[in-house]
Structure 1
Amino acid sequence: MIATITGENQYARSRALHAAIQSFVEAEGDLALERLDGEDAEFVRIQEALTSLPFLANKKMVVLSSPSKNKTFVEQFEGLLQQVPDTTDLVLYEPKFDKRSSLYKFLKKSSDFQEFSDLDLPALTRWLVAEAENFGATLEQPEARFLIERVGQNQQLLASEVEKLSLVGGQISRQQITELTEATPQSSIFQLLDAALAGRAKQALQMYDEQRAMKVEPQQIIGMFAWQLHIMALLKTAGDRPADQVARQAKISPYVAGKTASLVRNMTLGRLVQILDELLDIDRRSKREALDLDDALRLFILDLGQ
């Protein structure tokens, strides 16, 4: 058997690999498992592992990570894979294929192919609700979305947080999420921008002060503002194209794109360009003069609501 595990969703990808290995080891034992890294292993070593018969076992499993990083493997994969005996389960674990490559096209057609994409907000919310249920707790969709907005869309982090929240037992509330989890800086910056653009200046400035109290430096905040404004510009210039389509083309998270779409819905492109210019001016001035960045960024936040 030849299986391929790939895709940009690192959490789902690693879970699939873990499940495949666990199932095999339970049946054949861990001595029948061999792991190789395509970036480091010599092709001769890969060839020997894939074509040799198992030792003191009925079957063996070979996990080859990053096969596309091995130039010789990429050149000779088709002939080599035809030599893999039925007694070997081969798992090709590749974070990101070049989808134009012959290797990708061959494996998609000729192997047990699993490709894991990042989840959009509705799918991520459903997954989080189910994950809480697996831990014996109840998480409603509004609270699941609140948790995502608070800590971000990293599934590994979300799984860890919902496991921690489930220890309390029963239904997970918004208050528990606020008390037991820590908001990520990027998530807070989105909320800060949302408040500032809606004219809630006091709330936005309070969020800025909270970031500074957590030792997030002004230059880091400028970088996070720039990243968020870049996403906003991509969505604004995309016209009527759906956010998930823009996300695929720009190679950004569909969750981030969907969430950011609400910020630009009622904003003109001219206003967005003006905001970007103001932030760029602050960044440039900070590099050539003694500028109080805290004051400059607070004024910038106040101007966002004008």
Structure 2
Amino acid sequence: MEIKPEELLFRLQQGKPLPDLSGIIAVYGEEDYYRSQIAAAAPAFIFAGIDEADREITIFDKDTDLRQMAAVVNTYPFFCGRSLVILKDEKLWGGKQDSDSKKQQLDKLADILSDVPEYCTVLICASKLDKRTKLFKLLKKQALLCECASLRPYDLAPWLERQAEQYGARWERDAVGTVLEYLAPVERAPLQLLQQEIAKLAVYAGERKTWTKADVEEIFSALPETSSFALLNFICDRKLPEALRLLADERKKGGNILPICALIMFKLRQMLQFMELRQHGYDLKGATAELKLHPYAAKKMQEQCRRFQPESLQQALLDLTQLNIDLRRGGRGYERLEEILLCLIG
């Protein structure tokens, strides 16, 4: 049976029964945030009411001997009548899955897991599982299967709301929009880092339970996109002195100019896409859905696009592309980027 990571984590933390638990919980996927949270919550759930000293937990995280694992799974726990086996050795399912030795190893693991005693729970934590294998087919049939896929930034709003609820708080609309704008250029939302920043935000806000845009701008300093986000805002608002000042700061710190150029190019392409959609008859709601933007970010982009002509954005993109080529040939960096910004917003 399949279960979503949010539901599984909630049930474990709240001590609520798990559906169709057959002794195996398989948690897999590229989002380490959920996998680590579930692994941390599982012992208290499995051993509810049992002292930590009496809990029988065995972790296999490297160089797993499957014979030893089989012995642990099938040995009745002496102290509390329950045992937990946590299997997170990536070498078991990593590497070349098509090799004979790897296939034999996975098949042997499947055989062990095909008959888990009722007193034992096996928790599998894997970044990736090959769905073609005998092991995965067994897990799909007998285990509680939980896929932890990464969240894209445009899907992050419900997750942010749930995080605030844990502190008895709520976000203002502009606050959520600002977080999503920070993360718009990235492929995957850094949930672990976001959780840390939200914890700091809760401490910062104290008894005040409504979190504002100003709170986000004050606290979310650890996000690597934050300073670049400020630069993008200055560019889109045509604030040349402020943009040049930030560039000068990055230059003094020895920051790599290539990621900065990449973020600027991402933003300019996004603005051009927005303009093109509007020219083809999309209303604001339609363009928002097409580009997978938060409504707050879309409204802000609409205001920013009014300050530019498509031709100037296209020329800046061509200039930035050439800058990237020249940099790899030893050409000028920050000076040339300043010239491009002068032409775009000067």
TM-score w.r.t. the length of structure 2 is 0.66
Structure 2 residue matching 1:136: 3-state secondary structure: coil
What RMSD over aligned residues (CA atoms) do the two structures have, in Å? 4.2
TM-aligned CA distance change 1:206 to 1:185, over 3 Å: farther
TM-aligned CA distance change 1:131 to 1:44, over 3 Å: same
State the Cα deviation string for residues 259-306 of structure 1 (Å, max 9, x = none).
89x79x9979976872453232332233xx6x4x33133224445559
1:140 to 153, 168, 172: 172
Structure 2 segments unaligned to the other structure (5+ residues): 1-22, 96-101, 278-285
The CA deviation at 1:200 is: 4.6
TM-aligned CA distance change 1:198 to 1:165, over 3 Å: closer
Structure 2 residue matching 1:92: 3-state secondary structure: strand
The CA deviation at 1:174 is: 2.1
2:57 corresponds to 1:33: yes
User: What corresponds to 1:251 in structure 2?
Assistant: none
**Structure 2 CA distance, aligned partners of 1:187 and 1:285?**
29
Identity %: 23
2:207 corresponds to 1:169: yes
Give, as a single letter, the amino acid of the residue that structure 2 aligns with 1:7: G
TM-aligned CA distance change 1:3 to 1:305, over 3 Å: same
The residue correspondences of 1:1-80 to structure 2 (distance < 5 A) are 1-30=23-52, 31-37=55-61, 39-65=62-88, 66=90, 67-69=92-94, 71=102, 72-80=104-112
**Structure 2 CA distance, aligned partners of 1:232 and 1:74?**
48
**Structure 2 CA distance, aligned partners of 1:98 and 1:303?**
51
**Structure 2 CA distance, aligned partners of 1:139 and 1:273?**
35
Structure 2 residue matching 1:285: 3-state secondary structure: coil
The CA deviation at 1:10 is: 1.7
When Rg is computed on C-alpha atoms for both structures, the one with the higher figure is: 2
2:175 and 2:213 in contact (8 A); partners too: yes
The CA deviation at 1:107 is: 1.9
The CA deviation at 1:199 is: 4.8
2:323 corresponds to 1:282: no
**Structure 2 CA distance, aligned partners of 1:173 and 1:227?**
25
1:28 and 1:59 in contact (8 A); partners too: no
2:47 and 2:82 in contact (8 A); partners too: no
Structure 1 residue matching 2:170: 3-state secondary structure: coil
The CA deviation at 1:63 is: 0.5
2:136 to 95, 104, 117: 104
2:250 corresponds to 1:211: yes
2:232 and 2:267 in contact (8 A); partners too: no
**Structure 1 CA distance, aligned partners of 2:139 and 2:263?**
35
Give, as a single letter, the amino acid of the residue that structure 2 aligns with 1:178: E
Give, as a single letter, the amino acid of the residue that structure 2 aligns with 1:41: T
The CA deviation at 1:64 is: 0.2
1:6 and 1:96 in contact (8 A); partners too: yes
User: What corresponds to 1:186 in structure 2?
Assistant: 225
Give, as a single letter, the amino acid of the residue that structure 2 aligns with 1:34: T
The residue correspondences of 1:188-203 to structure 2 (distance < 5 A) are 188-190=227-229, 192-193=231-232, 195-196=234-235, 199-203=238-242
Structure 1 segments unaligned to the other structure (5+ residues): 248-253
**Structure 2 CA distance, aligned partners of 1:224 and 1:108?**
44
**Structure 1 CA distance, aligned partners of 2:136 and 2:344?**
46
The residue correspondences of 1:218-233 to structure 2 (distance < 5 A) are 218=255, 220-226=256-262, 229=265
Give, as a single letter, the amino acid of the residue that structure 1 aligns with 2:261: F
Give, as a single letter, the amino acid of the residue that structure 1 aligns with 2:72: A
**Structure 2 CA distance, aligned partners of 1:126 and 1:136?**
15
User: What corresponds to 2:114 in structure 1?
Assistant: 82
User: What corresponds to 1:294 in structure 2?
Assistant: 334
1:63 and 1:91 in contact (8 A); partners too: yes
1:53 and 1:87 in contact (8 A); partners too: yes
Structure 1 residue matching 2:322: 3-state secondary structure: helix
Give, as a single letter, the amino acid of the residue that structure 2 aligns with 1:186: E
The CA deviation at 1:24 is: 1.7
1:154 to 170, 190, 196: 190
The CA deviation at 1:159 is: 1.8
**Structure 2 CA distance, aligned partners of 1:156 and 1:12?**
9
Structure 1 residue matching 2:116: 3-state secondary structure: coil
The CA deviation at 1:112 is: 0.1
TM-aligned CA distance change 1:296 to 1:41, over 3 Å: same
**Structure 2 CA distance, aligned partners of 1:48 and 1:272?**
65
TM-aligned CA distance change 1:209 to 1:84, over 3 Å: same
**Structure 2 CA distance, aligned partners of 1:267 and 1:198?**
15
